[in-house]
Amino acid sequence: MTSEEAIVTELTNKFHVLDGKTQVRRPRRIFSEVAYADFRPILDFAKDKLGFNYLNMITGLDEGDNLALYYHLSKNNAITLNIKTFVTKNNPVVKTVTDVFPSADVAERELVDLLGFKVEGLAAGSRYPLTDDWPVGEFPLRKDWKMKGEV
């Protein structure tokens, strides 16, 4: 069994919701999908028990009725665990992960600005990356957002 498969086994043994939702797509790339309600214990387990101590990136996606998130974690800088989760576009509220990964700060601000997520628990601070006078309610990475005015 490869290290990647061993990780998948540990994950699925601990969290049955990951059964059939976690695959090794190629060496060093594990992809997983989970409902947001089940997400946080899996993130904590991956960090504390499986050694995924780097949160390399958070990707936000507009998937129609849902806004999705990928938390890209890595272990020993080699194996990446990419956990996908999602919330509804009507109520895109997620909790911050900066308590366990302080590096998520900028990534979460980006989710707020570009896709309109609401991140609970994110410390007060300057926005990123849009300008201070950016119009309220305009989220450029949403699929229905179109460039206005002259380019």
Residues that bind other proteins (CB under 8 A): 26, 28-29, 31, 53-57, 59-61, 70, 72, 76-78, 80, 82, 101-103, 105-107, 114, 125-131, 140-141, 145
Burial 70-89 (b: 16+ CB within 10 A, else e): bbbbbbeeebbbbbbbbbee
Kindly tell me which of 13 and 48 has the beta carbon lying closer to other proteins: 48
Return the H-helix or E-strand segment holding 13.
Answer: helix 3-14
Nearer to other proteins, 16 or 124 (CB): 124
13 vs 103, beta carbon nearer other proteins: 103
Q: How far is the CB of 120 from other proteins (least distance, A)?
A: 20
Which contacts (CB < 8 Å, 24+ apart) does range 21-26 have?
none
